[in-house]
Structure 1
Amino acid sequence: MIEDISYSEALELVLRHARAVEYEELSYREALHRVLREDIQAMSFHPPTDNSAMDGWGVRASDCSESPVQLQVTGTILAGEEWRGSLGSGQAVRIMTGATIPEGVDAIVPFEEGEERGMNVMISQRVNAGAHIRRKGEDYKEGDLLFESGRYITAPDIGVLASMGKITVKVSRRPVVSIFSTGNELVEPEEQTPGCKIRNSNSYGLEAQVKSCGAVARVLGIAKDEKNVLKEYIIQAMDSDMLVITGGISKGTADYVKEVMQELGAHIVFSKVRQRPGKPFTFSLLREKPVFLLPGNPVSTMVCFELYMRPFIMKAMQSNTNNVLTVVACIDENIATKKGRTDILRVIMKEEQGKNIASLTGAQGSGILTSMVKANGLLIIPEEVNEIKKGEEWPVRILNTF
């Protein structure tokens, strides 16, 4: 077991043990926020034909080289209809947005730029060839690589899949993450809380974070600080892909989690990371399954998830992104930190005069859950730094918001 390691070393060790989950094939309509496990090439041209970008009149641009000009209106083409005619010189045809461009038409005049008089239309300005025409394959051509394996599927992606008739897609199976919290002091949120009790917020905050990655969260509840009970909960979770336990990993007289894990045959990969919050964070393997042991303080729990579990889950799903966005921000106050540890501070990001500005949420204690509620970013200060001066620019990790 490795003890007292840096944040970067801990992250590298965690990610080293991420194993890919299987893929499954499902309807494109069910693929939102899933990770793609195949390259997808366009199966057709989009648009499939040259078509009108406006409601207007289809014309020959050569007929409109001088204005004004009067043209004979020969008919109407609606989107989705096939018009078998051919436009001759001196003629125009009404055409709606999305309708296929017929033979002879090489420009569209929007309705608001002409005046229809009986069976004729008066065009009052010069028209350029190609005006308001969308070309076949302008969006994508058959065979174009549209999506690479590992893509995190978004709502616009669903629309593109539908546009080319890609009805089923291969995506990563949603990994199942079991969650439980430990402590005789804990009660469930709906229960009354005597002064000595605390509602279990960790399990449900983690549940939401797990779901935000596209994984499945399974909350097992609260385990009392008793070895046999802890063993039962841990064994119960072994049918999931990974387990996260909060609390019971420090040096308290009732902190049995690491001891119980070792009795069950777990390999403790590392314990204790030079960071704040989350110093007691421990990563282990039991029956080759990852078990994340997180501190009981709510902020430590949520921060450790963002630092380690989110990238782990995304890697297990074979995502080519870790679901994390980092931007550079100007720090609006002096910040003193302790050299020799990584500090993770909760900040509020806002834009002022075109610049990103980051300010601390207030007190940064690991038990102040509202610091995570106020925050929309994490400022990660490396252990070799002991001071940030007001006005310096630093990368800020945007907290997941969808």
Structure 2
Amino acid sequence: MITIEKARETIVSRITPLPSEKIPLEQALGRYLAEDIVSQMDIPSWNNSAMDGYAVRVTDIPHAGVRLGIAYEIPAGSLPQGPFPEGSAVKIMTGAPVPPGADAVVKREDTIESEGAVTVNIVPKKSDHIRFAGEDIAKGDLILQKGTLLEAAHIGLLASLRRVMVLCSQRPTVAIIATGNEVADLDEELTENKIPSSNSSTLTSLVRQLGAIPLYLGIARDTKAGLRDKFEQASRADLILTSGGVSMGDYDVVRDVMTEGANSVEFWQVRMKPGKPLAFGIINGIPAIGLPGNPVSTMTSFDQFARPAILKFMGAQTLTLPRLKARLLEAVRGPGDRPHYLRGILKRCGDELCVVSTGPQGSGILSSMARGNCYMIVPEGHRTLEQGDLIECEVFHASW
């Protein structure tokens, strides 16, 4: 039985990032950047007005109440007509280029316009309400790093840089196989001896949520022949995930098939709770993770091991869930001989973060994952953490 860290390190070391592909910018949301982005231009490209108002020289306005003639007007999308005379102003709209000679913009609310002139009711300061060329981004700046997950702001930034196509990592195909005679898919009758195959939908959703491509292959019954057939169907996948069949029962056959022929198993137990039964190996040349069958164990093990593997395929910078410390609102207990991943609800309590259990913590209680937003980790060597203690948490849903 190996540690969580060693298991994760072993899995990730067997994953090779996928090649990159150029995709249209409008399809890049949620993808991982496969190149550094260096700006080829200043943004903004010219000095422009941050307000609707009047471009002026501050030396023309030594005190409030100065009246200036309006030389001309620059609507947004237009260019200045040229220099303007001293003792005058240029009416300007937000985003329009600042005319030569102007060193401030007075916003419209601080003026009164009448009969071709404007009265300025304040004393402006130099550079007021001017956005200078390169103020946001300068030509030659490194804007985004390889491995960045592209979100809405990044897409807007790339559009500002006129990037029509973006080089992104390819998305891995992840084969998902449920196992067991006792589980039934949504299109099967749920008889008295069957339970719903919730793991099938959960894993498909988790894979899709990460930006990978799920390939659900259905349920392999508890026979070696049935499981071999599913593994053959997974031949075009980059990663294989199974749920169930890796424990010590007579009908838990995943580990057996993973050791047949040229297949191999690197480990099959991890020192953690829940999620102790977990196999990793190579099947038909494809990395395969045998997740435990209990729903909470499946999700916990996915987050610790399958998630980092999928993210490495896509060239992500960070592979693990974000960690932080929070104040316990109640005492929690662990087995002591291994880390215990309890489901918790992280929230703000005044100036600090606090956390409370979602309730019953059985590995079959999937509602504890649905209610929670983090794992509370009782470390190995500790049986109890008391109310008021700080506990390390891994956030899987930032909902506070």
What amino acid does structure 2 have at the position aligned with 1:158? I
| Structure 2 residue aligned with 1:212 | 209
Q: Which residue of 2 aligns with 1:228?
A: 225
Contact 1:152 1:321 in 2 (8 A): no
Match of 1:249 in 2: 246
Q: Could you list the per-position Cα deviations for residues 142-173 of structure 1 after superposition, in whole angstroms to 9, with x for gaps in the alignment?
A: 11100111111111000010001111121110
Counterpart AA for 1:193: L
Decide whether the 8 Å contact of 2:246 with 2:268 is kept in 1. Answer: no
Deviation at 1:190, TM superposition (A): 4.2
Is 1:199 matched up with 2:172? no
Once the two structures are superposed, what CA deviation does each residue of 1:367-399 show, in whole Å capped at 9, x if it has no partner? 001010001001122222222121111221110
CA distance in 2, matches of 1:287, 1:222: 19
CA-to-partner distance for each residue in 1:183-242, whole Å, 9 max, x for gaps? 111111244312221111101101111112111111111111122111000111021001
What's the secondary structure of 1:367's corresponding residue?
coil
Correspondence for 1:292: 289
- Structure-2 residue corresponding to 1:336: 333
> What amino acid sits opposite 1:367 in the alignment?
G
Partner of 1:186: 183
Across the aligned residues of Structure 1 and Structure 2, the Cα RMSD in angstroms comes to 1.4
Equivalent residues in 2 for 1:379-394, closer than 5 Å: 379-394=376-391
2:20 paired with 1:61: no
2:375 to 372, 375, 378: 378
CA distance in 2: counterparts of 1:323 and 1:45, whole angstroms: 35
Distance in 2 (alpha carbons) for counterparts of 1:159 and 1:264: 51
1:164 to 161, 166, 171: 161
Q: Which amino acid aligns with 1:308?
A: F
> Where does the alignment leave 5 or more consecutive residues of structure 1 unmatched?
none
Q: What CA distance in whole angstroms lies between the structure 2 residues aligned with 1:283 and 1:194?
A: 33
Deviation at 1:335, TM superposition (A): 1.5
Q: Please name the residue that 2:8 is paired with.
A: 11
| Equivalent of residue 320 in structure 1, options 303, 311, 317 | 317
Question: 1:106 maps to which residue?
Answer: 103
8 A contact 1:212–1:400 mirrored in 2 = no
The residue identity in structure 1 corresponding to 2:113 is E
Answering whether residue 130 of structure 2 is matched by residue 136 of structure 1, we say no
Question: 1:138 Cα shift?
Answer: 0.2
SS of corresponding position for 2:215: strand
The one-letter amino acid of 2:149's match is Y
**Conservation of the 8 A alpha-carbon contact between 1:49 and 1:135:** yes
2 CA distance for matches of 1:85 and 1:216? Answer: 56
Please, which of 63, 80, 88 is the counterpart of residue 85 of structure 2?
Answer: 88
2:145: which partner in 1? Answer: 148
CA-CA distance at 1:179 after TM superposition = 0.1
CA deviation profile, 1:18-38 (whole Å, cap 9, x unmatched)? 211111111122111111111
Aligned residues: 399
In the other structure, the counterpart of 1:237 is 234
- Return the alpha-carbon distance in structure 2 between the equivalents of residues 193 and 213 of structure 1: 30
Q: Following TM superposition, by how much is the alpha carbon of 1:400 offset from its aligned partner in structure 2, in angstroms? A: 4.2
TM-score of the two chains, using structure 2 as the length reference? 0.97
Separation in 1, partners of 2:57, 2:23: 47
CA distance in 1, matches of 2:40, 2:87: 39
Residues 64-98 of structure 1: CA deviation (Å, up to 9, x unaligned):
11221000012210111112221211111110000
User: Which residue number corresponds to residue 363 of structure 2?
Assistant: 366
Superposed CA offset, 1:265-288 (max 9, x none): 321100111211111111111233
Amino acid at match of 1:72: G
Partners of 1:69 and 1:307 in 2: how far apart? 68
Aligned 1:25-40 pairs, distance under 5 A: 25-40=22-37
* Code of the aligned partner of 1:101: V
Shift, 1:55, TM fit? 0.3
Identity across the alignment (%): 36
Residue 181 of structure 1 and its aligned partner are, at CA, apart by 0.3
2:275·2:298 contact (CA, 8 Å) conserved in 1? yes
